[in-house]
Each structure stands twice: as structure tokens, then as C-alpha cells.
Amino acid sequence: MRILITGGAGFIGSHIVDAYLADGHEVAVVDNLSTGSLGNVPSEALFFGADISDARTLNHIFKAFRPDVVSHHAAQISVVESMHNPSGDAGVNVGGSLNVWQCARDCGAKRFIFSSSGGAIYGQVSSPLVSEDQPANPLSPYGLSKMAFENYLTLLKQFDSPIPVILRYANVYGPRQGAQGEAGVISIFSRRLMEDKSCVIYGNGHMTRDYVFVKDVARANCAALYAGDGGVFNIGSGEQTSTVSLYMLICELLGISSKNPQYAPERQGEVARISLDCLRAAQTLGWKPTTPLCEGLGQVLDSLGHTPSLASA
């Protein structure tokens, strides 16, 4: 297949590019490199430096490459930034996403894969395990913009449209993840502890998240290429891990005494707990996560130049 992936120079997108290429697909990457790196893009993939807000440039790229499938991973990903600038967030995550969708439709793409967010869309939940049938209750403009574009895809499916496959990710972690701003807490904790710096936990540390390894997410995107009539799928581990437990586990894998972290007030728009029920993905896509948290953390630390202690693992 000919696959065009937006955000393909970023953390998650670049791993998906690797997986698509390994399966023999022809891949083009569209990325403005605002958070991604050209070094993440394999030489076998075509690269186009462009912003999804630039509809005219996107149109030229799509007409030149003529993808069979579009995998849309470019986004404004900061919850905090969305609170400060909801208009800018919607401009990228709704307006920019619609630009990508229109180009996909106009060039005859058959399938449109969209990277959405489980935690940001479901919000505060009463059940420890959340299925795709859980009513949406976003707590931030970021979650609202993701939900809004999902609704566009659901509506537009009724017309002459690429088949939409919506993947609602849990907290994705793995090699290549940045450690700035609101980047994944695993990357932040790992780098700071390796540099003998203090770590900050927001809230009381008992908030839980569902952490899923990036290469498992890449496999889900490969499975999504053959997802029949499409649909909405949770992509996570199905397990909850508290921030404090995660911090202590990383300390253990690094072979250092657990330093007392600093605590800061809980951030606006954060959910208290979340884990995703991925039964639908297992039944329809044939996908299940295969990387235990401890093993995935080991790969993160290894990518940062540390060899985890097998005894502590």
C-alpha cells in the first residue's frame, strides 16, 4: 500500500513509519518538525516538510503521492496549551485535521486512520476499565478537539469518504519520546533520574494511567490497515499504574535508592484514573499489547544509555 502519515517524524509516528516500511509498504511522511525530528524518519520514506494548517501545500503533496491510506498523527498535543489557547488547539486539531481529511478524500484514499486519545476523551470515569461505549466527557479543550474531529469522521462516513479507523491511545511511552514540557512522564522521570535531578509529581501521586508501549501501538496501526469497515478502538494495556508506583519502578530499574520526589498542585484537565478495555481491538483487529511495563521501561532506559538491572526487573 501507499501510506501517507502526518506527524511521521514525531515520537509515535516515526515508530509507525518503521512498522509500515518493515511490512513492505511505500510510505510518505508529512511533518512540520515543530516537535518531531528529521533524524526519526528512515531514508526509505519520502519526507515532505509541511504544516497541516497549510491546505494548499497539503493538496499538492497528496496529489503527488496519491496515498491509498492516510494515517493522521500530526496534532497539538499539550493539554496545558489547549487550556491557555483553545482557539489555537482547535485550529490544528480540528481545522488542520479537516484539511488532511479533505485531501485524503479528494485524492481517492480508501482508509483514514486517526490517532485519538482515550484519557482525554473519556474524562473522569467511575469504572476502573473503560470501553469504547463509555460516554465522552472531555475535561480540556484538547480532549474536546479530539472528540470533535472523531464526530466529523463519524458523520462524514455516511458520504463518499475514506473508511475511518479511530484509535484511542492510552499513555504511549517508549524510545524517542521527548522529556520537555508535557512529554510522557516516563521519559521525564527516566532522564531526570539518570541526570541525578529531582522529579516533580503533580497531585498526590495516586492518579493512575494506562501505559502502552509505542511498538505495540505501531502494531495496532498495522492491524488498522485491514480493519474492514473501520470503527473506534481503544489501544492500551488495560492496566492502571499510579504515578508514585511508576516513579519507584524506574528508580528500581536504575538501581538507585528511591529519592523523594517533589509534589506540585494537580494540573487542570487531568483525569484521576484511567485504563482502557481493549477487547474490541482484540476481537476485530486481532491486536493485543505484548510488552509488559517493566520490559518497556527497560527498553526506554537502554535507549537512553543505561542497562537495566536484570535482578531488579
Give yes or no for a contact between 259 and 198, defined as CB atoms under 8 angstroms apart. Answer: yes
Q: By three-state DSSP, how is residue 272 classified? A: coil
* Catalytic status, residue 169: no
d(CA 62, CA 103): 6
Considering the candidates 20, 142, 173, 247, report the single residue annotated as catalytic: 142
5 by Cβ neighbours in 10 Å (0-12 / 13-18 / 19+) ranks as: buried
**Strand 241-242 relative to strand 208-209: parallel, antiparallel, unpaired?**
antiparallel
Query: Element (H or E) spanning 152, and its range?
Result: helix 141-156
Whose cell is 498495522? That residue is 222
Ramachandran angles phi, psi of 145, nearest 5°: -70, -35
Q: How far is CA 51 from CA 55, 161, 287, in A?
A: 8, 23, 31
Whose cell is 496515498? That residue is 67
Catalytic residues: 142
